[in-house]
């Protein structure tokens, strides 16, 4: 099976087309391992949460990871972002500067944007799995 792009992986969330965790293709990255699942934090469930579990950019220090975070947060506002196992103090500081909150154990979370309530038949839930371009 060819690795999907990150966008293909996100778009297939809930369809069982792909497992809930896998390596995906993303421009500027040597590798990117992600998972989508609900995550409990701050006395609440955050679903969906995109875990960025392991990655390496091709050219460190060029803003590739920063651009990915900004793009994900803009195009998938209902997704909470979670970055695991951040051991570099410099990278930890960068995540905080990007709006992430430390959760303990070298992990960081960026909560989703609030979703406006709808009066449609979805009972107030607005599905946001497609990117906002």
Q: Which pLDDT belongs to residue 104?
A: 84
- The helices-and-strands tally (H runs, E runs) of the chain is 3, 6
Q: 9, 22 in Cβ contact below 8 A?
A: yes
Does residue 82 fall inside a structural domain? yes
- In this predicted model, what pLDDT tens digit does every residue of 56-71 receive, in sequence order? 999 998 999 999 999 9
Which pLDDT does position 115 carry in this prediction? 47
Inside any domain, residue 51: yes
So what's the pLDDT on residue 9?
95
CATH, residue 57: 3.40.630
125 occurs within a structural domain: no
In a domain, 55, yes or no: yes
Does residue 126 sit within a domain? no
Q: Taking a C-beta distance cutoff of 8 angstroms, is the pair 82, 39 a contact?
A: yes
pLDDT of residue 88: 85
Per-residue model confidence as pLDDT tens digits over 71-128:
998 999 999 999 998 888 888 999 999 999 999 889 999 998 654 333 333 333 333 3
The residue with greater pLDDT, 33 or 42, is 33
Q: Tokens 């590798």, residue? A: 31
Q: What pLDDT is stored for residue 114 in this prediction?
A: 55
How many domains does the chain divide into?
Answer: 1
Q: Is residue 130 part of a domain?
A: no
pLDDT for 36 beyond 90: yes
Give the pLDDT confidence score for residue 81 in this predicted structure: 96
Pick 1 or 55 by higher pLDDT: 55
Q: Would residue 76 count as lying in a domain?
A: yes
> Domain limits at 57?
6-110
Sheet containing strand 44-57, strands side by side: 21-24, 29-41, 44-57, 80-83, 107-110, 101-104
Establish if 120 belongs to a structural domain.
no
């Amino acid at each position: 099976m060819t690795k999907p792009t990150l966008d293909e992986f996100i778009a297939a969330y809930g369809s069982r087309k792909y497992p809930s965790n896998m390596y995906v293709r993303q421009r500027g990255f040597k590798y990117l391992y992600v998972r989508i699942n609900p995550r409990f934090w701050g006395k609440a469930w955050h679903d969906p949460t995109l875990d960025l579990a392991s990655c390496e950019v091709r050219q460190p220090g060029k803003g590739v990871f920063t651009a990915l975070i900004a793009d994900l947060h803009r195009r998938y506002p209902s997704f909470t972002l979670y970055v695991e196992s951040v051991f570099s103090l410099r990278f930890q500081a960068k995540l905080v500067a990007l709006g992430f909150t430390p959760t303990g154990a070298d992990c960081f979370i960026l909560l989703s944007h609030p979703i406006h309530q709808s009066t449609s038949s979805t009972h107030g839930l607005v599905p946001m799995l497609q990117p906002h371009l």
